[in-house]
Amino acid sequence: MRSDPTAPSAPSAEAARGHRALPALRLDHVLHTGFGGDRTGPLRRAEHADLVDAWLVERWVEAGAPAQGAALAAIGSLGRRDLGPASDLDLVLLVDPERVGEREAAALAGALWYPIWDSGTSLDHAVRSPAQNEEVAHDDLRAAIALLDLRLLAGDGALVEDSQARVRRVWRTQARRRRTELIDLAEDRASRYAALAHSSEPNLKSDRGGLRDVTMIRALAGSWLADHDHVAVDRAAEVLLDARDALQAVTGRSGTRLGRPDQDAVAALCSVDDADDHLAHLAEASRTISWELHRGVRAAQAAAAPGGRATIGTGAERRPQLTRLEHGVVVQAGEISVDPRVEDPVRELAAVRHAAVTGLPLTDATLARLAADPPALPLTVAQRDVLVDALAGQHLADVYEALDVHGIVTAWIPAWEGVRNRPQRSPVHRFTVDRHQIETVLEAQALLPRVDRPDLLLVAALLHDLGKRAGARDHAREGAPLAREAALGLGFSDADAAIVADLVREHLTLVETATGRDPSDPATLAALLEAIGGDARRLELLRALTEADARAAGPAAWSTWRASLVDHLTDRARASLAGSLGGPQEFLAPQPAVERAVLEAVRRTGAAQVLYPAPTGEGHVSQICLGAPDAPGVFAAMARVLARHRIDVRSAVVSTIDGVAVDTWWVNGRPADLPHPTALRSALAREIARRTDPAARVLDVPPGAPARTSEEIPVVTLLPGASDGATVIQVNAANRPSLLADVAEMITAHRLNVRSAHVVTLGRRAVDVLYVTDAKGRELEAPVVGRLISALMDAASA
């Protein structure tokens, strides 16, 4: 086969000999050369590839390779000339069997591979003829994709050109014939890997929207089934490659998982201010890649199955069936576009609505038109209503990704730019801030029948986290004015925009009050009623927004237990607003008969008692009633017993009746899964007997991991006004089995009492709200509060 004079040639032996310093270096030194300080970027990678090429050419020359019949070629990152400082090498030794025998080929391969192995560099290698490359590409689509990057390093260029031509021919033929397998391959990681854009510790290579997807996008283009926006993909790929290079330079390893300990250093090497900003840049690049892969797969499906769509006409006049809808929306070839001849102010928004409802994609031309000429703000009433209808569409997430990549959403909601692609450090969250808001809208769709203003619920869900911008201290309060302005821009009235702002400001109030306050305390209900301004409509909207927000965050943020607490407080608020609130209807109410039985048993025996009440309907939460003669440290002793038995506490109600401590605990698990009451009773008796012995109070449970980041440092907060009869303190700390016991012990050491405790676990953190009184049952004085908060910080850090 004749050589292509326009193809890049391999370094000559004479050029390689000019790098006299290279043979003295190990390959791992060469791989790291040029990637220190700020040396990342495409130019650095090209220079680096030249160094590695020259090193390999030296090995080729030293191995005494024949002038004809053999060639050394690269695939993978070296083949693409984008390898990083710790990248693996993928090499293929091509041989012509008629010119180079098996023994000669094996000797040449050994002479090439052993210096690489000796350097400690990972090597993926093969020895093949062009015909064997063709066979491999024919049998294995993954191998075919890798061989598309085949590039000559040294030797007989005709062999490489022959292999390239064979592989490309097979790839184009196979891609059309095996389109289903190819599409499955392109979408394979959707079920096996996380989305890079939403990961707090992304894998730059393997996650969805990562570097592997870039390879697939380019492979689809090479099949002639689909093309892509080369500028956008190349720019996004450079962002990921720069991060990979910086990561490998920082760690000295070939991994591509950007862990939290390395994120600040990697961001600095990439010239980004902080790790969160860098993650936002990575998310934006990843979303572009995911979108282009989605487009490529869609185009491949259409190109490979021309007869699969409804058509009209015959012969050369056959064309896809066209359907015209209202407002100038057109559906053709399974895509949504608009008729430019129809002048309708809701035309583009109607196309967006149809895409959100049906799942059909918007054409590139329609997206470009939306980006270039967005509707003027504020929207008209008609435009607003169409947009709200789109928010109710079940395919909203797919439409959002298309709009976001084209920068359309920020044109409709300017404040969106502040949260776009922002990472969430909370372990309960699964998505970036902007996508979480979209997921909240999707969750709110199921709750629309519960409210009388479903449009306000959808818009509040869309805007509720606008305050989560960089540097925000109280995102709910800071987001309220942003949400009001956004609602006005979307065409809502001043009154409706005010309701949306109120919902955004209070969107955490209901769940935090229900799970972190004593539901029997009148101050708890008063706080909720004040937050909603005594308005029943706001209460129902807030209840629905609370659930949608929590469900969108993830399974850890919304459980049956939390829902029950929220519903109980909501029911009390409804009754109060209706004027029918009676006495305190305690959700966390001990069963009187059980309390009496424990009280009588303690009086009769003078010893600790344990009783499991019958289940009351909450399948995964059980009650345990513990009783003992009251004395300082009894509550802490009870907490230690539960910690020693690995019992997770949800909440506790503490009471003293005629000198007997009768405490009811709500814990995770069914009664059948808990220790036998006799075992707990014996353990409690021992614990109470030894409660004044410091050595006996040491818990034999695994300690928590030391705090590594600011998010893991405990926060102890006074909640003024949360109760009329107790001082309420919140302990927010990294969760561990002994946390509540350690906190209770510290309160005992200060000769104080715990009236009730409410415990919530969110991911790796626990939020314990404690109602504390002095020895006489009164609120604490200010100096005591200061000392206690300092001591609880120490206890939570232990």
Q: Tens digit of pLDDT for each residue in 748-762?
A: 889 998 888 887 776
Please report the pLDDT score of residue 40 as a whole number: 60
Question: pLDDT band at 31, cuts 50/70/90?
Answer: low
pLDDT band at 7 (very low <50, low <70, confident <90, very high): very low
- CA atoms of 111 and 107, how far apart (whole Å): 6
450-485 pLDDT, tens digit each: 898 999 999 999 999 999 998 888 999 999 999 999
Q: DSSP 3-state assignment of 65?
A: coil
Would you say the pTM of this structure is higher than 0.85? no
The whole-number pLDDT of residue 11 equals 45
Question: Please, which pLDDT band fits residue 19 given cuts at 50, 70 and 90?
Answer: very low
Tell whether 555 and 620 lie within a shared domain: no
Six-digit token string for 128: 């093949």
Examine the pLDDT at 16 and tell me if it is beyond 60.
no
Q: Among 42-51, 362-371, 689-698, which stretch is predicted with the lowest mean pLDDT?
A: 689-698
Do 56 and 172 belong to one domain?
Answer: yes
User: What SS3 class is residue 297?
Assistant: helix
Residue 413 lies in a domain: no
User: Which two structure tokens, joined as six digits, stand for 163?
Assistant: 């292999």
pLDDT above 80: residue 134: yes
Asked if residue 558 belongs to a domain, the reply is yes
Enter the tokens of residue 38: 């700020």
Q: Where are the alpha helices (DSSP H) in 532-644?
A: 536-553, 560-577, 592-605, 634-644
Query: Domain total for the chain?
Result: 4
pLDDT of residue 723: 86
Greater pLDDT, 655 or 373: 373
User: To the nearest whole percent, how much of the chain has pLDDT over 70?
Assistant: 88
- Rounded CA-CA distance 523/779 in Å is 14
CA angle, corner 281, sides to 552 and 466, nearest 5?
Answer: 40
Closest CA to 506 of 486, 487, 479, 525: 479
The better pLDDT of the pair 685, 734 is held by 685
Q: What is the pLDDT of residue 658?
A: 85
Model confidence pLDDT, tens digit, residues 512-534? 898 888 877 888 899 999 999 99
pLDDT confidence of residue 338: 94
In a domain, 257, yes or no: yes
CATH code for position 56 = 3.30.460.10
Side chain identity at 455, as an amino acid letter?
Answer: D
pLDDT digits (tens, 9 = 90+) for 166-205: 999 998 888 777 777 777 777 776 667 889 999 989 999 9
Task: Give a yes or no: residue 733 inside a domain.
Answer: yes
In a domain, residue 750? The reply is yes
Give the CATH number, domain containing residue 643: 3.30.70.260
68 and 123 in one domain? yes
pLDDT higher than 50, residue 569: yes
146/214 same-domain check:
no
Residues 133, 226 within the same domain: no
User: Would you say how long the chain is, in residues?
Assistant: 798
Residue 45 has pLDDT above 70, yes or no: yes
What's the CATH code of the domain at 293? 1.20.120
Angle between helices 230-251 and 211-222 (to 10 degrees): 150
State the DSSP string of 484-499.
Answer: HHHHHHTT--HHHHHH
Which of 306, 333, 362 marks a domain boundary?
306
CA distances from 460 to 382, 480, 481, 505 (A): 19, 10, 12, 10
Contact partners, residue 388, CB within 8 Å, separation at least 6: 455, 458, 459
Q: Are residues 226 and 160 in the same domain?
A: no
**Residues 118 and 135 placed together within one structural domain of the fold:** yes
Give the C-alpha separation, 457 to 443, whole Å: 11
pLDDT at 37: 45
CB atoms within 10 A of CB 252: 11
pLDDT for res 10: 45
> Quick one: 573 and 635 in the same domain?
no
pLDDT of residue 378 exceeding 90, the answer is yes
Q: Of 280, 306, 332, which residue is a domain's last? A: 306
Joined tokens for residue 424: 């969430």
The domain boundary, picked from 273, 306, 339, lies at 306
Q: What pLDDT score was predicted for residue 549? A: 96
Residue type, 514: A
Mean pLDDT value of segment 716-738 = 86
Statement to judge: residues 574 and 600 lie in one domain = no
Within a domain: residue 424? no
pLDDT value, residue 4: 40
Q: Measure Cα distances from 37 to 41, 44, 279 in Å.
A: 12, 12, 20
What pLDDT shows up at residue 357? 94
Most confident of 209-223, 304-318, 683-697, 698-712: 209-223
283 and 219 within one domain: yes
Residue 694 belongs to domain spanning: 595-701+710-797
Same domain, yes or no: 600 and 464: no
Claim to verify: residue 683 and residue 554 sit in the same structural domain: no
Q: What is the pLDDT of residues 630-664, one digit of tens each?
A: 888 898 899 989 988 888 887 788 888 888 999 88
Q: Would you state the pLDDT for residue 39?
A: 55
pLDDT in tens, 430-456: 899 999 999 999 999 999 988 989 999
With respect to residue 428, please indicate whether it lies within any of the assigned structural domains: no
Indicate the SS3 state at residue 92: strand
Whether the ω angle into residue 378 lies within 30 degrees of 0, i.e. cis, is yes
Kindly provide the b/e burial profile for residues 410-419, where b requires at least 16 CB atoms within 10 angstroms of the residue's own CB. Answer: bbbbebbebb
Query: Is 68 among the domain residues?
Result: yes
Confidence band for 582, pLDDT divided at 50, 70 and 90: low
